[in-house]
Structure 1
Amino acid sequence: MIKHTPIALLLAALGTAAHAADPATLGTVEVVGTAPLPGLDVPRDHIPSAIRTLDDSALRHAGGASLAENLQRRLPGVSINEVTGNPLQADLNYRGFTASPLLGTPQGLSVFMDGVRLNETFGDVVSWDLIPQSAIADLTLAPGANPLYGLNTQGGAIGLHTKRGDTHPGGEASLSSGSFGRTRASLSHGGSKDELSWFVAGDALRERSPSEAGQLFGKLAWTTATTDIALTLAQANTDLIGNGLTPTSLLSDDRNTVFTHPDQTRNRSTLLALSASHWLSDSDRLAANAYLRRTRSRTLNGDANDDYEDAYENWVTGGMIGAAPDETGVLNRTATDQNGAGLGLQWTHYAERHQFALGVSHDRGHARFSQTAQEGELTDNRGVDTDEASELENKLSGRTLTTSVYVTDTIALAPTVQLTAAARYNHTHVINRDKLNRTAPNLDGDFTYNKLNPALGLTWQASPALTVYGGVSQSNRAPSPIELGCADPDNPCTLPNALAADPFLEQVVTRSLEFGLRGRAGWIGVRYAWDGR
């Protein structure tokens, strides 16, 4: 493999510009969607950030067990951390911010699929196991605090776009097997007839452990010269085991041991989405979407009992009367039911020197969360043996309503200089109701967060093979119902599969400053693309 430093590539790019270049090589213009809804497709050289894209071929050949793992293998700067030990429950990290399926993790990345926000209502979590991998046509990673993507876009936004029958015709099937008894199967078919197209796909994953994951996806689309309408249905059902990290002291005795067990997460999700776009004229396009989403999650965690040491100490100081407490373990169970709905509308105007977009979106979600604890004895094999009754410790209902208005304009100041200005106003209302304790003090709360987030960027095509860019942007994250409802130190929630401190309850505001070079260089008919910041 030939490697070139950015300085060497820069010199090569400038050298290439000094010679007569092949027009076919440098004449191709790649456009990238820069907003959740379709229509705002901007040439890559006009984007003032190190935006990344992947197509379905790159994702398929990455060979990862999950979408998060494929992103780590293909996108620079992306890393994952399997806290639970399960690849479908990994934390994805980018520029110091995280998209995680674990409640209690500060979520600094937003994820969209065909313009539908996938961050859940209750904790803004991202459940990678519910995303239909074989249905992904391409994706975009927009870095930084890009306000156009709304809440949680502190480190970046991931935009997923699904396949259609007119763009991905024919059938495809695959079956693979790997280490640790892992087996994966996928099946898809797409086709079209006149204005109608269809695409269906299914994924299944099983490991030697009891983990199982299955996804089904279907899309029906109607397309004419000026109008496109698509109806999407996605379902997922997963049963995951993730026994987490094990202390070195236990591994020294037995490399096959776990800290505690069981650690089980069962998810079920249904997403129904309708999207449409219409060209009002040669220079005006209207795009809209609406969706309904329902998610059910159940967790079972065998843990060491944090109250045991205090109970034992009280027994000793009390004169050791009666039997010694032996509740060294506890089975924690949670149930989370979430319903979400939303709609968005965007108008895009193309002019000679402007590419302007104005949009509005509204998302609402309702989550019901309950938690029980069943004390017992921690066994020699790190399980929990109990005959005690379960006790209800938390029961919370949370609602989140977010309304946003955004505007952006890319202006050609000169043939090789483009200015991009954008702003988004977010209004978020969070309502919590304590269903276990109806008398104060309890977990009831009513919170409102408002924020106007701007962005400004500039690009300069120094040569056909070299672009210089820079920009500043701002985005915010509002506390989720789980953070607001479980922040009281006197009445904490035991979060499944994660350890988290009491969160900071003011909205989090992030500002990004980015400068970089983007270019292409060719040697002996071979083309290299690079992007440094």
Structure 2
Amino acid sequence: MSLRKLILLATALTPVGPALCAGASGASNAEAPITLDSIDVISQELDAARLQIQPSLGASSYFFSQQALQTIPQGANAPLNQVLLQAPGVAQDSFGQVHVRGDHANVQFRINGVQLPEGLSVFGQALETRFARNMTLITGALPAQYGFQTAGVLDIQTKTGLTNPGVALSGYGGTFGWAQPSLEYGGRYNNVDWYVAGDFLRNERGVENPDASFNALHDRTEQWHGFAIMNAILDPDTRVSVFGGAFNGNFQIPNNPGQTPQLGLSVNGVSTFNSSILNETQIENTQFGVLSLQKRIGDADVQISGFVRNSNLSFTPDPLGDLLFNGVAQYAARSNLAGGVQTDAAWRVNDSHTLRGGFLGQLEHTSFNTFSNVLPVDADGAQTSEQPIGVVDNGGRTGGLYGVYLQDEWRILPSFTLNYGLRFDGVNEYANQTQLSPRVNAVWKPTDSTTIHAGYSRYFTPPPFELVSPTSVGLFAGTTAAPAILRDDNVRSERSHYFDIGIQQTVAPGFSVGLDAYYKRATNLIDEGQFGAPIILSAFNYRWARVQGVEFTANYDVDAWSIYANAAYSRAVGKAIDSAQFNFDPDDLAYIQQNSIHLDHDQTWTASAGAAYTFNRGTKYATRVAFDLIVQSGLRSDANDVPNGGSLPEYAVVNASVVQKLDLGLGAGTEARLDVLNLADASYQIRNGTGVGVGAPQFGLRRTILAGITQRF
């Protein structure tokens, strides 16, 4: 398998039908006895059938095999955002955020085909590379089965007790006080298999450093991750799966030394504060669970799943420091509980047509609780007392969203496939809106080595329920936290037209190149920003927006060599902020009302490349040496009184990795690895603290040396 592979899907994937089962028909499958030797075969067939229920027909797919996930810097210890940076069109941001094809977030996460609700984590990530057998980032004009979050779909296929039997114990760590022990355990009993993974992470670089120093001040993090899955094969056509995960993270907010309060405030006789001793912290936790039934009935495959996700976030300020620096010290907490049902089905009508359909319904409750210490001011904004006063703003709401789709994969010619369908979505939360969305993709394979695709998708993206809270801005009147603008229109659903066209060419065996172009025209485009000291993102809309770009990819995978290269151009602009207006500076708001500006996460150029070579391939002492390169042209910043009118300097980061297999006569094998992140120790700035919705400066991770050993039993 190649380390990185862009697949511009050329032909419709043939659904897994009875011919791929243990028997010649669904009836004979049901009657066939299940033996331990056949469990692996049946599981693989059901995995293939699940992928056929919801393929990415006509979209662009970037595939990460298990070998690729092990080769990237940090391997299974790598956070998902670092993995995604290897794909084309993915831009790096602060707080571990990534942007796919010019969107702020809007990335959908699926595990074994089940779409997970969005969560509240900002710094931490509830999903891990560790439990992924492989993953695919799907972008472009998506088929009708993909709704709501549509900038990209990260589809994770998990490890199981069949694919990863036994125990793996790992110790990993290095500079910045990095310690990351982990455990994996997979097994099987009769027709039931299970897989469990967990790790603990502690280091002194939990959040990006706000200054250029090598070591950050007050930046410790402690995080726990866990995941478990159990599968039971009831008969050759039926599988029941239950899986879930949990994440808990504690983060110190790093300090920027040498700063002094600029508001001229005084609290009980104190008017100065040493910024290097600020003590702000944030706690994040998420739990999720899924129960799925997968069934084959004749020429049809169906998967029915119930899911639940709970997430919480709380921010604790420095009571004195935040008040002097920001005019408010706010204790903030948010929580969100979501649950629902998802059903997807595929029916192979004949050799020319495959129908697919399904629905998703989700209910969720979100709550917000804030207590703010502020200082009273007069009508001219002058402080009238040094004694802080408290402002309480609590609330909550219950809402839901739903979507239903039907599409037909029509193989018109052996070399030409048309996939067309309709999707109907609705949301009843802070917004109450619906939309009927047509989708169509054409895939043409004029030769065995050339694939051309083109598609159009109408998208409907509800605002992130957990990031929308109708703040009572009037509560802060007459205080140091009073907004200059009192308008607070509700955040609305984004509606967009999306066009995509691309070509994939096999130049020689093992060597392929691809080119893809996209254009998105949106109304009420959803963006997010950090407003105030709490590191909690808030959503808002641009009334009008355009996003467009081009991506190039190349992949070479022959014998011991694996080489890839990606480059992407993107331009994302918006005009007229028409919701949550109280968060913005009046001058910025007035300018954006009349002028288009770059979105703050717009990054003109991104590129990634890598090479890996395996010595002694196929032996017990194989050595894999790999290098990765990430190039970014710089996110936006304010310039010449124009919001997001400038951009930060470009930067490049080189990472290196060596993985050595060892034969120590212990268990099932030993593996050692050495990773060097930012090999050249480049000092680069991700944010400079200016821009629409940007809170503070952030600098990238400096040279980090990490090593680990994994023992398998």
TM-score w.r.t. length of structure 2: 0.54
Q: 1:459 to 1:327 in 2, by over 3 A?
A: closer
Q: Distance in 1 between matches of 2:345 and 2:158?
A: 22
Q: Distance in 1 between matches of 2:146 and 2:500?
A: 18
Show the 5 A alignment for 1:25-424.
38-40=51-53, 42=55, 47-63=57-73, 65-72=78-85, 74-82=86-94, 89-99=95-105, 108-120=106-118, 128-144=124-140, 146=142, 147-153=144-150, 155-208=151-204, 209-223=219-233, 224-243=235-254, 261-281=278-298, 283-302=299-318, 330-350=328-348, 351-375=350-374, 391-424=390-423
Q: 1:373 to 1:475 in 2, by over 3 A?
A: same
Q: 1:166 to 1:144 in 2, by over 3 A?
A: same
Q: Does 1:508 align with 2:494?
A: yes
Q: Secondary structure at the match of 2:69?
A: helix
AA in 2 matched with 1:130: A
Q: Distance in 2 between matches of 1:515 and 1:57?
A: 29
Q: Distance in 2 between matches of 1:328 and 1:513?
A: 44
Shift of residue 303, structure 1, vs aligned partner: 8.9
Q: Is the 8 A contact 1:305 1:375 kept in 2?
A: no
Shift of residue 528, structure 1, vs aligned partner: 1.5
Q: 1:234 to 1:304 in 2, by over 3 A?
A: same
Q: 1:390 to 1:178 in 2, by over 3 A?
A: farther
AA in 1 matched with 2:332: T
Q: Secondary structure at the match of 1:59?
A: helix
Shift of residue 352, structure 1, vs aligned partner: 0.9
Q: Which moves more between the two structures, 50-59 or 287-296? A: 50-59
Q: Is the 8 A contact 2:345 2:358 kept in 1?
A: yes
Deviations 1:247-300 (A, max 9, x none): 9988xxxxxx9688434221222222101101111x111111001222222112
Q: Secondary structure at the match of 2:84?
A: helix
The equivalent of 2:462 in structure 1 is: 478
Q: Distance in 2 between matches of 1:506 and 1:409?
A: 31
Q: Secondary structure at the match of 2:83?
A: helix
Q: 1:295 to 1:356 in 2, by over 3 A?
A: same
Deviations 1:57-105 (A, max 9, x none): 3223222542111211x211112211xxxxxx31111111122xxxxxx
Q: Distance in 1 between matches of 2:455 and 2:245?
A: 37
Shift of residue 388, structure 1, vs aligned partner: 6.9
Q: Is the 8 A contact 2:53 2:344 kept in 1?
A: no
Shift of residue 346, structure 1, vs aligned partner: 1.8
Shift of residue 484, structure 1, vs aligned partner: 5.2
Q: Is the 8 A contact 2:59 2:141 kept in 1?
A: no
Q: Distance in 1 between matches of 2:388 and 2:328?
A: 11
Q: 1:287 to 1:483 in 2, by over 3 A?
A: closer
Q: 1:481 to 1:291 in 2, by over 3 A?
A: closer
In structure 1, the gaps of 5 or more residues are 1-5, 7-30, 83-88, 100-107, 251-256, 309-325, 377-386, 432-446, 496-500
Shift of residue 184, structure 1, vs aligned partner: 2.1
Deviations 1:284-335 (A, max 9, x none): 11111001222222112349999x8xxxxxxxxxxxxxxxxx7865432112
AA in 2 matched with 1:514: D
Q: Is the 8 A contact 1:239 1:264 kept in 2?
A: yes
Deviations 1:201-234 (A, max 9, x none): 0122111242011111111111241111111131
Q: Is the 8 A contact 2:460 2:496 kept in 1?
A: yes
Q: Distance in 2 between matches of 1:346 and 1:262?
A: 48
Q: 1:258 to 1:422 in 2, by over 3 A?
A: farther
AA in 1 matched with 2:301: R
Q: Is the 8 A contact 2:335 2:466 kept in 1?
A: no
Q: Secondary structure at the match of 2:496?
A: strand
Shift of residue 119, structure 1, vs aligned partner: 4.2
Q: Is the 8 A contact 2:284 2:313 kept in 1?
A: yes
Q: Secondary structure at the match of 2:104?
A: strand
Q: 1:138 to 1:392 in 2, by over 3 A?
A: farther
Q: Is the 8 A contact 1:213 1:236 kept in 2?
A: yes
AA in 1 matched with 2:199: D
The equivalent of 2:449 in structure 1 is: 465
Q: How many residues align?
A: 423
Q: Secondary structure at the match of 1:69?
A: helix
Deviations 1:7-55 (A, max 9, x none): xxxxxxxxxxxxxxxxxxxxxxxx9x9x99754254x7xx322221213
Q: 1:195 to 1:390 in 2, by over 3 A?
A: farther
Q: What percentage of residue pairs aligned between the two structures are identical?
A: 19
Deviations 1:425-474 (A, max 9, x none): 1111115xxxxxxxxxxxxxxx4110112211111112111101111112
Q: Is the 8 A contact 1:243 1:260 kept in 2?
A: no
Q: Secondary structure at the match of 1:132?
A: coil
Q: 1:139 to 1:502 in 2, by over 3 A?
A: farther
Q: 1:390 to 1:461 in 2, by over 3 A?
A: farther
Q: Which moves more between the two structures, 327-336 or 204-213? A: 327-336
The equivalent of 1:531 in structure 2 is: 514
Q: 1:148 to 1:403 in 2, by over 3 A?
A: same
Q: Is the 8 A contact 2:401 2:427 kept in 1?
A: yes
Q: Secondary structure at the match of 1:180?
A: coil
Residue 434 (structure 2) aligned to one of 440, 450, 460? 450
Q: Distance in 2 between matches of 1:55 and 1:337?
A: 35
Q: Distance in 1 between matches of 2:277 and 2:406?
A: 50
Q: Distance in 1 between matches of 2:160 and 2:476?
A: 46
Q: Is the 8 A contact 1:132 1:203 kept in 2?
A: no
Q: RMSD over aligned Cα, in angstroms?
A: 3.6
Q: 1:399 to 1:280 in 2, by over 3 A?
A: same
Shift of residue 116, structure 1, vs aligned partner: 4.1
AA in 2 matched with 1:152: Q
Deviations 1:378-427 (A, max 9, x none): xxxxxxxxx97773432120222112111122111100001011321111
Q: Distance in 2 between matches of 1:468 and 1:279?
A: 32
AA in 1 matched with 2:93: N
In structure 2, the gaps of 5 or more residues are 1-5, 7-43, 205-218, 261-273, 376-385, 482-486, 517-713
Q: Distance in 2 between matches of 1:178 and 1:291?
A: 37
The equivalent of 1:21 in structure 2 is: none
Q: Secondary structure at the match of 1:286?
A: strand
Q: 1:77 to 1:303 in 2, by over 3 A?
A: farther
Q: 1:412 to 1:327 in 2, by over 3 A?
A: closer
Q: 1:470 to 1:299 in 2, by over 3 A?
A: same
Q: Secondary structure at the match of 1:479?
A: coil
